[in-house]
Amino acid sequence: MRRPVTGEVHVHYGQIYVESDPAGTTPGLSEAFAGQNGGLCGAAVPGALWLSTGLHTGNVGFVVEVHDAPPALDPAWEDVVEVSFRPVSERTSLVQWAGEAAWDLDLPRTDYRVRYCARGMDEGRERDTRVTGEPQADSYLLQFWPAPPRPDRVIHQTSQNAAYWHRYARDLPPPPTPLQRAETECLARRAQERAAEERRVHHERWQWGGRLPSQALRDARESNVLGLLRFDSDLVHALGAVGPGVQRAVALLAARRACETAGLTDVPWVTEALTALAHKRPLPPPFDDTARMWETLRCDPRVPERSVLEAIPPERPSYRPPAPADRALHQQQAPPATAGRRAKWVSAMESGEDPPSRPGLGRAPGTLAPAAPAGRSMTPAAGTGHDAAVVVHIFGTPREPSQIAQPYFALPAVLAAAEPVPLKAALDAVWHAVNTYGEHYPELLEEIRSACAEGAGD
């Protein structure tokens, strides 16, 4: 025989528990005792025991014993009940109210008979609260030994407190069968999954401007599509709907317009790259090496010093999750009481109210937007997808727009237009062109929309 717990434990609301659920859950009062004859040790929910005490709040004497065979019954105990119990995990603990303290009982996963013995329950009930320095009023013994399951029984009853709880248990409706419990948990799980999927779809619809994206747009998430959505979600959906030929033409148009507004179309090596794009040839040097490309841009005196205020997307209301359709739906989606956290007791006592027919028991209740000074001395930041783009994200607290050097935003549009996937090429080239245009981006988007509309009819 071993004693994993001996001495005193603290109880609150006249309760302490044995738990083996890894999630640390505790059944509600009525659920724990449903279908039982005894009301001191609730074992109706697999893997858990609800232990009632006479004292409402304070320390009680408490011993836990684990035996290899049924122990002899000591006649000194005034109230005695027995139940059957089987842990649902490898870790079973005696747990105080709200998890304030716990003791590992080290019980293997097998069937046990449990004897719960009490002495002084009426004295504890009458005292109600025990403070430091006061003598002990009630004490308890909890014994485990291996035994096959069988119904609970009341072995001895002396106190009025125990009699009250036995009547309470016998008046409860029968517990659900294992099949009914499994069906209830399955329905709750499905409701939760449906609710989670509805929330996901609701957020995705908001993120994509009020409608769901096509699969092609979903597949393009590695591009700057989410950034472009903040500027013009209708254009993003239009780009996803047109054919690859139109997408490729839009990519070339965006790259060309970006270079034009940055003053790069008179720079020979940039012109050669745009010509290569138009003829569907690989980009020539220095575009085949991004480090060399940036060095060439920085050192070439023919590159003009042009700057503009950065592009700021239109303001957009923050996302607001959908509210439950009604209270009934919300309750349907909630898990059963057995899945609640320890602090959520399904009991009249959880709110400080009195339980049925027992008066007096209760108690009162970030932003990434690099500043880019005009001039060729600026070192460009790495961008999403091309290791060359300066990406401007506008989130959080509004701020004054920064001045950006347009040539350093234009070349990533050229790299993007060479992307093998036409939709990704169009999305990224337009994104970088928008940032190159800066505060004047609406005129670019108007031209891109017109190109999409013309192409859609082809």
- At 342 the pLDDT is 37
How far is Cα 119 from Cα 77, in angstroms, rounded to an integer? 5
Radius of gyration of the chain (CA): 36
Nearest residue to 253 via CA among 279, 290, 278: 278
Is pTM, for the whole model, over 0.75?
Answer: no
* Alpha carbon distance 310, 119 (integer Å): 78
User: What is the residue-wise DSSP string for 331-353?
Assistant: HHHSPPGGGSBTT---SGGGGTP
User: What is the per-residue DSSP string for 268-319?
Assistant: HHHHHHHHHHHTT-PPPTTTTSHHHHHHHHHH-TTS---EEEPP-PPP-PPP
- What integer pLDDT is reported at residue 12 of this predicted model? 95
Is residue 81 within 8 A of residue 152, CB to CB? The reply is: yes
The Cα 136–Cα 76 span in angstroms is 16
Residue 25 confidence (pLDDT): 76
Return d(Cα 277, Cα 398) in angstroms, integer: 38
CA–CA separation, 412 and 224 (whole Å): 12
Q: Any idea how long the chain is? A: 458
What does the pLDDT profile of the chain (458 residues) look like in tens digits? 999 999 999 999 999 999 999 887 788 999 999 999 999 999 999 999 999 999 999 999 999 999 999 999 999 999 999 999 999 999 999 999 988 899 999 999 999 999 999 999 999 999 999 999 999 999 999 999 999 999 999 999 999 999 999 999 999 998 788 888 899 889 999 999 999 999 999 999 999 999 999 999 999 988 999 999 999 999 999 999 999 999 999 999 999 999 999 999 999 999 999 999 999 999 999 999 999 999 999 999 999 999 999 999 999 889 999 887 544 333 333 333 333 333 333 333 333 333 333 333 333 322 223 333 333 333 333 333 333 333 333 344 556 789 999 999 999 999 999 999 999 999 999 999 999 999 999 999 999 999 999 877 66
Q: What is the C-alpha to C-alpha distance for residues 101 and 359, in angstroms, rounded to an integer? A: 29
DSSP characters over 58-115 = EEEEEEEEE-SSPPPPPTT-SEEEEEEE--SSS--EEE-GGGS-EEE----SS-EEEE
Six token digits for residue 286? 């220095």
H or E stretch covering 199? helix 178-207
Amino acid 298: pLDDT? 96
pLDDT of residue 330: 39
Separation CA 96–CA 63 (nearest Å): 14
